[in-house]
Amino acid sequence: MPSSDHPATATEPRQSVELGSDEALRLLGGISLGRIVFTRQALPTIRPVNHVLDNGHVIIRTHEGAALTSHAQEADGRGVVVAYEADSIDPNTHLGWSVVVTGYARLITDPDELARYRLMLRPWTNQAMDYAVRIHPALVTGIRLTVPPLPADR
């Protein structure tokens, strides 16, 4: 974080520090909004969604007719390949972090699990969200944007 000796402004370059997967998942679990990336008609598609992190899996709710719901229903045993990105970056200082989970998304079909996630994860739209998707991470990456250290000669 910036100090009074070295205030952060958006015009200064940022230092990008790689996060370990445990730290990245911990940060992801602390917020509720992200973006799901999947293919639609062989092209990348991105949708904002809310999520919950449960036992290392990203859980999102979806609805009948959604492209992701269709893809997850048609997927083989592993699921459909997706990426999930979330971040917390201050718009003024450009300090914060970004996490990407790449993995396999499958529809949750167990009625008890589905009921549990319906209680844990409230949709942020007024559309009926009767389905839930579990993303099993195969790769978790992240960065933290920080102020570079001051040169030693200052």
- pLDDT tens, 90-118? 999 999 999 999 999 999 989 999 999 98
pTM: 0.84
Q: Which long-range contacts (CB under 8 A, 24 or more apart) does 138-141 make?
A: 138/102, 138/103, 138/104, 139/100, 139/101, 139/102, 139/103, 140/21, 140/24, 140/25, 140/99, 140/100, 140/101, 140/102, 141/18, 141/19, 141/21, 141/24, 141/99, 141/100, 141/102
| 152 inside domain | no
**Domain span including residue 128:** 16-146
Return the percentage of the chain with pLDDT > 90, whole number: 58
Residue 71 sits in a domain whose CATH number is 2.30.110.10
> What's the mean pLDDT when you consider all of the chain?
86
Residue 2: its pLDDT value, please?
47
Higher pLDDT, 1 or 144: 144
| 5 inside domain | no
Is the pLDDT confidence value at 36 over 60?
A: yes
| 151 inside domain | no
| 38 inside domain | yes
Q: How far apart are CA 90 and CA 97, in angstroms?
A: 9
Q: What is the pLDDT averaged over residues 128-148?
A: 92
| 3 inside domain | no
| 11 inside domain | no
| 53 inside domain | yes
Is the pLDDT confidence value at 63 over 70?
A: yes
Number of domains comprising the chain: 1
| 1 inside domain | no
